[in-house]
Amino acid sequence: MTDIRADISYSDNKEAGFSDYIALLKPRVMSLVVFTALVGLIVAPGALHPIEALAAIIFIALGGGASGALNMWWDADIDSVMKRTAKRPVPAGKIDAREAMSLGFALSGISVIMLWLATNALAGALLAFTIFFYAVIYTMWLKRATPQNIVIGGAAGAFPPMIGWVAVTGSISIEACLMFMLIFMWTPPHFWALALFMKSDYHKANVPMLTVTHGRKATRTHILVYTVALIPFALAAGFTSIGGPVYLALALVLNAMFLQGAWAIWRRSESQAEADGYAVEKRVFRFSLAYLFLHFGAFLVEAALSRVTVYADFAAMFKILELF
Amino acid sequence: MAITREHELHKRRSGRNVGLAVVLVAFIALVFGLTIAKVQSGASLQAYDHSYRPALDPDNVRFPQR
């Protein structure tokens, strides 16, 4: 007799759904990548065909997702220890770590080659370097080796607007470098403000976080120092082709507010922070999100205004021609 | 229990397959769109079309004098 009874005791909660594969690509990180890359692409001089621009954004985002998958493959041991990350698809047992690795490598190859074909070789090379930087330099090497891991990891998040710019122009310019530096210098104070009020369990996973290795007072000092170092880059962008009076006015206000917040964090003692439930740290963290969004939003506004100006010049010229 | 009964697991697998199908179709559409965009933005294409066209013969092409 043949037994064809269906075995429904199969560990059905462990098999991944489509959403688990999406989660493997870190969609929240992807959204920031898409936004900043799109700004880089729009503010760059020149223009891509809309389909090329769409493809560029999709493949830059896919490259970011690929590095997220590689990160989850390599960090599965850390993720399973920490409460915040224990439900990620690999530590939750839904996706095998080797499958995450394969997907990460496959998507890396596809995204780099497709970005190259859709735009140019330099953009593809920069995307490849970004994935390498995030997956190898940050995830495999420095994340577990130094408390400055956030600073180095920030570079990977800073590349997308530069890639967007290069996709259009084919070259790296001062504007692309300043957009890079804006995110690169913004990342440490943003994450350390979060680290101050999020009682994380990084120590359980043996990941050196500044708050643990150097203490919370040193972290407050680092936030202030990096915020001061960030300001010149944020303001300098206002004097380049992507800036202008609107950007500069907004940047002045935003940087003054960020500096004031960083100063307030630096002045506080741990007992003061605990007394009010880390109100200042939480406020500065939320503000830092708006800070970055508004800076890049201002780049978009300047780009729109410059196109209106060009249009106005064209319209004026057109009227002069009409006189003849 | 009937063997045809659909388990939650089957729905999840089906969702995964449909998701992958959508991604692949979108990828094909994007590559097709890119091809069209690249061809449109390139220089106009000419070739010998069954009959000899002297204008396309490199020996007949005269380059402007500097």
| Interchain contact, B12 vs A15, CB within 8 Å | yes
Q: What is the Cα Rg of chain B in Å?
A: 27
| A37 vs A116: CA distance, rounded Å | 15
Q: Which residue has the higher pLDDT, A12 or A155?
A: A155
Domain ranges of chain A: 18-172, 173-324
Helix (H/G/I), strand (E/B), else coil: A171: coil
Cα A280 to chain center, whole Å?
Answer: 24
Largest CA distance in chain A: 99
For the stretch A167-186, pLDDT in tens is: 999 999 999 999 999 999 99
pLDDT tens per residue across span A184-237: 999 999 999 988 888 767 777 778 888 888 888 899 999 999 999 999 999 999
Amino acid at A239: F
CB contact under 8 A, B12 and A55: no
Instruction: State the CB neighbour count (10 A cutoff) for residue A204.
Output: 11
Taking the CA atoms of chain A, what radius of gyration do you get in angstroms? Answer: 23
Mean pLDDT value of segment A3-32: 74
Q: b/e map of A120-153 (b: 16 or more CB within 10 Å)?
A: bebbbebbbebbbbbbebbbeebbeeebebbbbb
Neighboring chain B residues of A10 at a CB cutoff of 8 Å: 9
Q: B49 CA to chain A: closest CA distance, Å?
A: 29
The residue ranges of chain B whose pLDDT is under 70 are 1-4, 43-49, 61-66
What is the predicted pLDDT for the residue at A292?
96
Contacts of residue A151, Cβ cutoff 8 Å, sequence gap at least 6: A187, A188, A226
Grouping H, G, I as helix, E, B as strand and the rest as coil, residue B51 is strand
Q: How many CB atoms lie within 10 A of CB A264?
A: 16
Respond yes or no on whether ipTM tops 0.90: no
Architecture of domain A18-172: Orthogonal Bundle (1.10)
DSSP for residue B59:
G
Residues of A in contact with B38 (CB under 8 A): 52
- The pLDDT assigned to A246 comes to 92
Q: B34 vs A18: CB contact, 8 Å cut-off?
A: no
A38-93 pLDDT, tens per residue? 999 999 998 889 999 999 999 999 999 999 999 999 999 888 888 888 889 999 88
